[in-house]
């Protein structure tokens, strides 16, 4: 049963039972003393001065979480996670011979001469 399925009367009954439990716990604590009472089910997250305690994660834990997330991403992409980022191969430098440059230049000059002649 989930909370949205509970009626108002059931919620009131649950609240009264919770109050009874708290009263009985207080009574048990007073009988047994404060040192032997069981720890509460929910610990307060605030420090004694009212500030939120800072949560610290070790570097090893962060590394484990990071590795697991990278593995999940790789699985979703359908690839394996790279161990280290690979450097791209340097592009091969393209060199043109002097004869090829001369041929291109000659063809370009001929094209422009033809265009200029057509304008006159």
Tens-level pLDDT at each residue, the chain (120 residues): 566 677 888 888 888 999 999 999 988 888 888 654 455 555 555 556 777 888 888 999 999 999 999 999 988 888 665 566 667 778 788 889 999 999 999 999 999 999 999 987
**Cα 100 from Cα 107, distance rounded (Å):** 11
**Cα 64 from Cα 70, distance rounded (Å):** 10
46 — phi, psi (to 5°)? -85, 150
Question: Is the whole-model pTM more than 0.85?
Answer: no
CB 31 within 8 A of CB 23: no
């Amino acid at each position: 049963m989930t909370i949205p399925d509970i009626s108002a009367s059931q919620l009131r009954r649950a609240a009264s039972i919770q109050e009874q439990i708290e009263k009985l716990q207080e009574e048990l604590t007073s009988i047994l003393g404060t040192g032997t009472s069981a720890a509460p089910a929910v610990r307060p997250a605030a420090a004694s001065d009212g500030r939120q305690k800072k949560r610290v994660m070790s570097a090893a834990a962060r590394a484990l979480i990071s590795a697991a997330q990278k593995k999940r991403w790789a699985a979703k992409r359908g690839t394996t996670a790279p161990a280290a980022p690979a450097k791209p191969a340097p592009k091969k430098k393209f060199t043109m011979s002097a004869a090829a440059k001369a041929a291109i230049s000659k063809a370009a000059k001929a094209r422009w001469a033809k265009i200029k002649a057509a304008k006159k």
